[in-house]
Every structure is written in structure tokens, then in C-alpha cells.
Structure 1
Amino acid sequence: MKRFLVKCLLLALIVGGILHLGGLAYQRTTTYENLERNDNTQGFSRMPEQIDLAVLGPSHGMEDFLVFPEGRTAFNFALSSQTAQYDWMMLRQYGDRLADGAVVVMTVSYLSPFWNDTPEQFQAKQERYYRVLDPWNIVDVDLAHWVLQRFSPLLVNAPAEIAAAFLDPEPLNPTLEEKMHTASLEEEKIPEEQERIRRNHLSSIQRSFPEVNATMWEAYHEMLELCRDKGWNAVLVVPPYSEAYNQCFSEEFFSVFWERMETLSETYGVPLLDYSHDARFTGRIDLFADLDHLNFTGAEAFDAVVWEDLADLGLM
């Protein structure tokens, strides 16, 4: 019996070793790199040990903050459609890397306080967090899935996809920055884009409007309290939007949105920087990739403005 148990243990070690090493090999394939490029998580493995400028938020933070000031060690935690709840999880996970007096830019989109994902939308974004967060920072975590993913991604991906990654490697997709260099908002596409915004963004907001989503609102309070306790300098930033994007929202919406943002700013004594209707950007469709995201030229111009404004506030 003892010999049988030893053989079982030895077999388990061999299989485990193969799976682990195979997983490491899979992580070096273009298929896996494309997975990380598509959701922009590839930078997390190269995160600095100490950060003095952090950016949180959804895709507007991810795409609009690309060029950081010299002399600052920056990291962008923003991801596409990332909710305030997951901004909070990012801050909990990586807060020990933020330096004393670090600047924390909290990118706030029009959706952010009202965000309501459908179950399908929520699940579609979950997988990326299994790669970059500990289980206690993942909402509704499947602990077994987290363990398997960390031990070997071979255990949580379809065998056909894994085989193709080795036998028929994908060409590398462009990086976010490369895509933004070539992105541009075409005037003839604006009506189509506005319909997309009304269909996607407004539908999410209207599930709770005029009330905020309590979970998201609590996350903002948690983040701002943590920043205050840790001595980090939080800043609420609403990025530039095109005039065509702003036209999709009502005066009632803007009234409620700004009342909520100003309340946060005043409660915690943090700056609220609003560029949403800034004429330097709003009327310049050549600076936009689509209705609500800047292209690289726009991001470069916007970043210069933000860092100068933060310097004027004594934060840079």
C-alpha cells in the first residue's frame, strides 16, 4: 500500500510539473500575449515596486493617460469598462506600492457613478482579474478557478485553443499605443457612433438614474478614505469628450452627475478637474479615436494639460 501511495504521489508530481511548465510555455505564446494585449493587462507583470503617480478608471483612463511627466514613476491601472468597484480592488491590491504622497488620478466617466453591468457584461470582464488580482480582491470569486489559473493556464483554457497556440501561432496584435496612433474619428461615422452610445452607455446609466449605483458610490468613498488615511493625493478627473458625445446626454443628466461629483470633491477635499466640455478638445474631432476616447495625439495634448494643472495645484 505504501509503495502504491508513493507511486501515486510521484505520478501527481510528474503530471503537475508538466502542467506547470506547459503553462509557462503557453504564457510565452503569441496567443497568450494577444490575450493580454486585448485587455491591456500585459503591463502588470512589469509594474514598478514603488509608484508615485497612479491612474485608475475605465477605458478613458486607460487610453487618455499615456504620456507621463519626466521624473515620475507612473502606472496605469485603468482597464476597459472597469468599474469603480474594481478601481477600489486595484487600490487594495497594489496600495503597498504607492509611495508616500503619491498622486492618485481617479478617472471618472459619465457612466462611473451609475454603472450597472448585466450579468453577461460582468462575466465577460472577470477573467482578466484572475490574472492580476488576489482572490480576496475579485468580486464573486471562483476560488478553484483562481488556483487553477495561477498554477497553469492550461487548466482553464480550451484544449483546441492551447493546441493552436503552439501549432499555429497567431500574429501579434498591435499594442494599445499602436492602435491609438492610427485611430481617428470620421465625421461621417458620428451618427452611427451616437446611436452606439445611446444603446450602450445610456442603457447602463438608466438602470439606476437618477440614483447612483450604491456599490460604485461606496467604492468611491472607500478609495477616497484610503487615500486620505495613507496620505496619497487623490484627484477626480473627468476627461475630454467630443461635442457629439456630449450631445447624447440631457441637461438633467449633467445636473445630477455634477452634483454627485462635487459632493465627493467637497466631502473629501480633493480636486475635481473637469475637461468634459473643454473647448481645447471638444470641438477637435482630429484629437479623438471615437466619440469619447482621445487618439494618441489627443492623449498627448491632454496629458500635458493635466500635469500642468496638477503642478499648479502643488501636486506634481
Structure 2
Amino acid sequence: MRNFIFKVILFSILIVVSFLYLYSKRSNPLVDNFTTHNNNYEIINLGNSHGANIKYRDNKGKRFQRAGNTLYYDLQNYKYLQEHLVDNAMVIIPVSYFSFGLDENRTDYIDPNAFVNYYYMFLPSSSIYNYSFKKNIQVYLNKVKENYHSVIDERFFLVEKKVNDSLSLEEKLEHHAKMRSETHKIMAEYSDPEKNVIYLSALIEDIIKNGHQPVLLTMPYADHYNSKFSETWLDEHYYQYMNKIIDTYQVPYLNYSVDKRISTNDSLFSNSDHLNDKGRIYFSDILFEDLRKIQVLNQ
């Protein structure tokens, strides 16, 4: 009997250890970005994948963007990070054409609420929209499952990546712009824009209250992408809300969406709405120089 109990206990311990190992085996670089940081950032940026276009040259600045991110979670991420910023730190808030149409947990995804799983890994429950303890357990178990499969796949399978090189860069950007713009228009019209105005307003108010400097930003896009959005559509789904925020809070706003130094140069883009490494360096030099010109960046 004792031998049986000992084996059961040993088996249980092995299961727990295996779960803990698999849970921690694959660190999530996005989560690590938020949970591993210093206490003296002078400048950060939030936003979605477009926020990755900013390239910092030293450890005083850092990107805290996430692909497809919502303004609701920009607000929550700032609350999470605010104690790690120096006095008068700058917080850059990139806002994309589709940002005002997103709902909090991105239920426009194929798998409803899959987007929010990421935030269960580090945000407090009070910051997670429609938090559920049951879902929290599911997220934990899913991560163990994903880690298990990633370990197996890494050991026994070789995945080949095929790239279509038959198209010219201009053709690739034009093709990408057509598909991406259609998707982004759907995203921009998916949910109530007024609540996102409220979230962005709350974010700016928090930043100002904490003695930090907010800066609104529209990222550079290739002309291929911009040409798919009419002025009427942009005014209705984007600029009317941006202008409302700017007029209310009188915050600095820099718009590079159609900056000809960038938007007409296909070689700066990895696709129609994201810069490549060369483009990020070129754009960031322009951005930081402009921040100095409007006297919100000292050096």
C-alpha cells in the first residue's frame, strides 16, 4: 500500500514538474517585452504592429506595441508600465486607420477572444476586459499544450518557408495593399468608434496626470496602401476622431501617412503598411528630429 501511495505521489510530482517545465519552456517575446524592463525609460511607444516602425538607438527608449492591438489595451499597458517611466517621459501613441473600429478583445478574430489570451499572461484581472477565471485556467492549459507541440515539432519536423519571388517589389506592395486595405476597412467599421475615443482620451489623461508627455502619431504608409482609402472614408472613420482628440487635449500630433519622403519610396517598405529595417532607421531619424523641432524631445 505504501509503495502504491509513493508511486502516486511521485507520478503527481512528475506531472506538475512537466507542466511547469512546458509552461516556461517557450517564453513569449511579446510578453517578455512587457514583463522584463528597467525603471527609467525616457520614451516608449504603444500601438499595434505599426508601432514597430520606430527604432530606438539606446536603452532609454523601447517599443511596447503588439500586432492588432486595441486602444483599450494601449490604456491598460500604459497603466502597467507607468511606474517604469522617468518624470517627463514621452509616450508615443500610434493610431492606425482601423483603430477606432476595434472592440476591446478583438472578437472580429476567427477564434473569438483568442486575442485577449496574451493579456492573461501578465495584466491584472481588473485590466482584462470581460475577465473570466475559467478562461484564465484555459489560457494556462493551452500554453502548456502549445509548448508541448512546439517541442515535438522542433525535434521531429522541418518546416519549409516558401516565398513567391516572381513578382516585382511594386507588384508585391500593390497586391498586399489591396488585400490589407480591405481587411482594415472591415476592422475600422466593426465596432462603436466612440468608445475608442473614450479609451484614447483616458489614456492621454492618465499620461498627462502622471507628468508624462503624450504624442499622437500616424505612421508612414506606402502610396499603394493610401490610395485604397478615399478622403471621405478616412474623414469618416479616422480623422474626425483624431481631430476631436487633438482639439480637446491640444497634444502634439505628427502625421507621416503620406510623407512623400517615405510613402513614394517602395524600397523602404517590407509590405504596404510596414517599413523594413532600412525604412525604420530612415523614418525614426525623421521622427526624432521632428520631436526636437516641436520641443518635446530634448536630445
Fold shared, TM-score > 0.5 on shorter chain: yes
Partner of 2:206: 226
What's the counterpart of residue 177 of structure 1? none
- Are residue 137 (structure 1) and residue 127 (structure 2) matched? yes
Of 225, 245, 257, 2:225 maps to 245
Moved over 6 A (4+): none
Structure 1, unmatched stretches of 5+, are 1-6, 174-183
Alignment-derived partner of residue 90 in structure 2: 103
CA distance in 1, matches of 2:155, 2:225: 35
Cα distance, 1:244 vs structure 2: 0.7
Q: Which of 269, 283, 289 pairs up with 1:302?
A: 283
Aligned residues: 279
2:172 matched to 1:189? yes
Paired with 1:264 and 1:204, the residues of 2 have a C-alpha distance of: 20
- Of 51-60 and 260-269, the range deviating more from structure 2: 260-269
Alignment root-mean-square deviation, CA? 3.0
Give how far 1:241 is off.
0.5
1:135-167 deviation digits (Å, cap 9, x = unpaired): 111111222443675xxx4x33465x5544445
Does the CA-based 8 Å contact 2:87-2:211 persist in structure 1?
yes
Deviation of 1:18 after TM superposition, in Å, equals 4.9
Tell me: CA distance 1:139–1:170, structure 2 relative to 1, closer, same or farther (3 Å): farther
**Structure 2 stretches lacking a partner, 5+ long:** 159-166
* CA displacement at 1:261 relative to structure 2: 1.4
Which of 166, 169, 185 is the equivalent residue of 2:154?
169
Aligned to 1:217: 197
Matches within 5 A, 1:5-24: 15=12, 18=14, 21-24=17-20
Q: Which residue of 2 aligns with 1:260?
A: 241
AA in 2 matched with 1:271: P
Which residue is equivalent to 2:272? 291
Q: Residue 261 of structure 1 contacts residue 272 of structure 1 at CA under 8 Å; is this kept in 2? A: no
- Separation in 1, partners of 2:210, 2:270: 36
Matched letter for residue 45 of structure 2: V
Percent identity reads 24
Deviates more, 1:82-91 or 1:42-51: 42-51
Report the Cα distance in structure 2 between the residues aligned to 1:217 and 1:58, rounded to whole angstroms.
Answer: 16
* Larger relative contact order (Cα-Cα within 8 Å, sequence gap ≥ 6): 1
User: What is the letter of the counterpart of residue 270 of structure 1?
Assistant: V
How many Å apart are 1:90 and its aligned residue? 0.5
- The verdict on how the C-alpha distance between 1:187 and 1:139 changes in structure 2, with shifts beyond 3 A counting, is same
TM-superposed deviation, 1:259 = 3.1
